[in-house]
A and B are shown apart, each in its own frame.
Chain A
Amino acid sequence: MKKLLGKRTLKQKEAITAFLFILLPLISLIILMYYPIIRSFLISFFEWDLLREPTFTGIQNYKTLFKDEVFLEALGNTVHWVIMYVPMSVITSFALAMLLDRKLKFAGFFRTLYYLPVVCPIVVVSLLFVWIYNTDYGILNFILSKLFHMDPIGWITDAKYSLFSIAIMSVWKWAGYNMLIFLAALQGIDESLYEAAALDGVTPSQLLFKIKIPLVMPSIYFVMLTAVIDAFQMYTEIFIMTKGGPGYSTYTVSYYLWSNAFEYSKMGYACAMAVVMFVIIMAVTLVQNKIMDKRIEV
């Protein structure tokens, strides 16, 4: 280092030091992030099973992909998931934030408690809910039969309910996280607005729909779009709870991609899937960033 910095101006010395400081992170960024993105695009134009040499097939993988019923069903499941999960998740976490956004005793304790599921490993949560959802011995079916005399439901073994059951679990796991985001937004609202509203005799429902919700709208969009991005990448829950089944009812795009790459060794096909997901997710992310920028300005 002494030699490198020897007879140079202070400015040059500073620049060289800076490059040395960022050198390893930069190399790591290029080799493990940017190069793989390009390589995914390239591999997606080949047929490659890792045993033989890859053969160039042009856009064949993409053509097959959009005729592949499992892939289309996985995409459909993702859309279905978003329609089901996003409203449940947003309403639940917003309600929690509203509850805690007042001067309650022990508010800090409850906030911590509600956050606890967020830090739990997803493997643990998935195993726990497999047991809770068990058709014959699960506590959920027992409670429902006692309270409402309902027949046992195959929460994750019946294709009608499987995706919904996982969505309920996700609400339980992530509500605390979104709650914190909403809580921060609600607490950021200027107190004087409430005072003015009280003077004008605003009703509680007006306060909610005309003042609070519009002001935290950027956070609501943010939470919604994050949920959409996560929906495409959902993997561990599926792997542990249902392996995509019953039938293909809980296949997600990530799970199907993983099976293609690491079970059937269809590298080119899996990369084509990754590229499609990449394009969709980047589009959603760009919209999300626009909203984030706005949020920061507020």
Chain B
Amino acid sequence: MIKKKRSNFFAYVGVIIVAILVILPFAWMVVSAFKSQRELFAFPPTFFPSEWKFENFTEAASRGSISFVQMFFNTLKIAVPATIFNIIFSSLAGYAFARLKFPGREKIFMGFLAAMMVPFVITLIPRFLMFKDMGFYDTYVPLIVPVMFGTPFSIFLTRQFFMTLPKELEEAAIVDGCSHVRIWAQIFLPLCKPIIATLTVFQFQSSYNDFMGPVIYIASDAKFTVQMGLSSFRNSFTSRYDLIMAGSILALIPVVIIFIICQKYIVRGIAMSGVKG
């Protein structure tokens, strides 16, 4: 018993040391964001700023080629339609694969599953050429369209969930002459709220955090997303780490809020998929 207590003591020490290692870089980001430029490069460095400069945040929010508010708004223009339509089309397809009989069902489903393993580099250049030829360069279309009509991951997740629901659920409705669209909308969708929450969080995060997509397709400053605008800080404010850190915090806030509210769904998503969010 004493042995067990002692090993738990060491476990607590370990857990707290790791916690410090996780928090320290974040803490450094926060204190750096509040420092004056002189203090940022002072030697020896101070940890807490002698004077907390809140102006750094307003400056970071407004001094880029476009304002942070505009960048958030641009990012939402991508993330919102991509997420909403993705869930609608994926859950419709998931319903068909789980509940309806049609020739070639298993083979087509395998076709979707196989696509989950395809590395993005192999589709990168032809997709770029295709969207460019269609005149969608420097628009949000190439960032929304590949997601909005359903992605294999979302289809897979909704199908797996629908499979677990009892058959009796829709049998009565079918006898009453209900269409499948109505069964999907009025019986199945309300039941899969947890899955919808998981997909919303995942999809929103992947649109919000996406960097390579916007870098390839977006050219004009006015259309910059948050991640793109933030990365341009590195070039436009060389050595203004106070502003770069303040901007990073602004970019981080939405993600952290979503994470704290929805962590239950994020953990569930990982458990179900083993796919990085």
B245 with A270: CB separation less than 8 A: no
> With contacts A128-B248, A262-B216 known, is A33 near B121, CB below 8 A?
no
Name the distance in Å between A162's Cβ and chain B's nearest Cβ: 16
A17 to B263, CA, bound (A): 36
> With contacts A24-B89, A239-B231 known, is A37 near B150, CB below 8 A?
no
Give every chain B residue within 8 A of A261 (Cβ-Cβ).
124-125, 128
Give every chain B residue within 8 A of A31 (Cβ-Cβ).
130
Give every chain A residue within 8 A of B2 (Cβ-Cβ).
none
Does B266 sit at the interface, judged by CB under 8 A? yes
A25 with B255: CB separation less than 8 A: no
B252 with A32: CB separation less than 8 A: no
B41, B124, B128, B150: the one contacting A24 at CB < 8 Å is: B150
Give every chain A residue within 8 A of B14 (Cβ-Cβ).
99
B100 with A25: CB separation less than 8 A: no
Looking at B49-57, B62-70, B191-199, B205-213, the stretch in contact with chain A turns out to be B205-213
How many residues of A are counted as interface, with CB atoms below 8 angstroms from the partner's CB atoms? 86
Give every chain B residue within 8 A of A289 (Cβ-Cβ).
117
Does B251 sit at the interface, judged by CB under 8 A? yes
| Closest A residue by C-beta to B150 | A25
Does B1 sit at the interface, judged by CB under 8 A? no
- How many contacts between A and B, using CB within 8 angstroms? 236
A24, A122, A130: the one contacting B234 at CB < 8 Å is: A130
A28, A40, A134: the one contacting B125 at CB < 8 Å is: A40
A17 to B270, CA, bound (A): 32
How many residues of B are counted as interface, with CB atoms below 8 angstroms from the partner's CB atoms? 91
Does A96 sit at the interface, judged by CB under 8 A? yes
Mask: chain B, 1-16; 1 = CB below 8 Å from A; 0 = not: 0000000100110110
Which of A34, A117, A131, A236 is packed against the most chain B CB atoms within 10 Å? A131
Q: List 13 A-B contacts (CB under 8 A).
A: A11-B101, A15-B101, A17-B180, A21-B184, A28-B150, A33-B118, A34-B115, A104-B11, A128-B25, A236-B212, A274-B122, A274-B125, A278-B121
A267 with B129: CB separation less than 8 A: yes
A114 to B41, CA, bound (A): 30
A104 to B234, CA, bound (A): 42
Give every chain A residue within 8 A of B115 (Cβ-Cβ).
29, 33-34
A257 with B105: CB separation less than 8 A: no
Q: Which 10 A-B pairs have the closest CB atoms?
A: A25-B150, A36-B126, A28-B149, A21-B96, A18-B100, A36-B123, A39-B126, A15-B102, A18-B102, A278-B122
Does A222 sit at the interface, judged by CB under 8 A? yes
A116 with B211: CB separation less than 8 A: no
Does B19 sit at the interface, judged by CB under 8 A? yes
Name the distance in Å between A228's Cβ and chain B's nearest Cβ: 12
Q: Please report which residues of chain A, range 115-159, place their CB below 8 angstroms from some CB of chain B when the two chains form the complex.
A: 115-124, 127-132, 134, 137, 139, 142
Give every chain A residue within 8 A of B263 (Cβ-Cβ).
112, 115
B44, B45, B145, B179: the one contacting A32 at CB < 8 Å is: B145
Does B79 sit at the interface, judged by CB under 8 A? no
A interface residues with partner B (beta carbon < 8 Å): 11, 14-15, 17-19, 21-22, 24-29, 31-37, 39-40, 43, 96, 99-100, 102, 104, 110, 112-124, 127-132, 134, 137, 139, 142, 172, 176-177, 180-181, 184, 222, 226, 229, 232-233, 235-236, 239-240, 254, 257-258, 261-262, 267, 270-271, 273-275, 277-278, 281-282, 285, 289, 292
A177 to B111, CA, bound (A): 28
Which of A99, A229, A262, A273 is packed against the most chain B CB atoms within 10 Å? A99
A271 to B251, CA, bound (A): 33
| Inter-chain pairs besides A25-B149, A131-B241, 7 sampled, C-beta below 8 Å | A18-B101, A113-B22, A119-B266, A121-B227, A282-B117, A285-B117, A289-B117
B118 with A254: CB separation less than 8 A: no
| Closest B residue by C-beta to A253 | B121
A184 to B271, CA, bound (A): 8
A132 with B259: CB separation less than 8 A: no
A89 to B135, CA, bound (A): 43
Give every chain B residue within 8 A of A33 (Cβ-Cβ).
115, 118, 123
A277 with B119: CB separation less than 8 A: yes
| Closest A residue by C-beta to B17 | A99
A25, A139, A278: the one contacting B155 at CB < 8 Å is: A25
A11 to B230, CA, bound (A): 54
Name the distance in Å between A208's Cβ and chain B's nearest Cβ: 13
A22 with B205: CB separation less than 8 A: no
Name the distance in Å between B86's Cβ and chain A's nearest Cβ: 10
Give every chain A residue within 8 A of B256 (Cβ-Cβ).
116, 119
A102 to B231, CA, bound (A): 41
A36 with B122: CB separation less than 8 A: yes
Which of B96, B128, B230, B267 is packed against the most chain A CB atoms within 10 Å? B96
| Closest A residue by C-beta to B88 | A24
Mask: chain B, 161-173; 1 = CB below 8 Å from A; 0 = not: 0000000000000
Does B190 sit at the interface, judged by CB under 8 A? no
> With contacts A123-B251, A124-B251 known, is A29 near B112, CB below 8 A?
yes
B100 with A21: CB separation less than 8 A: yes
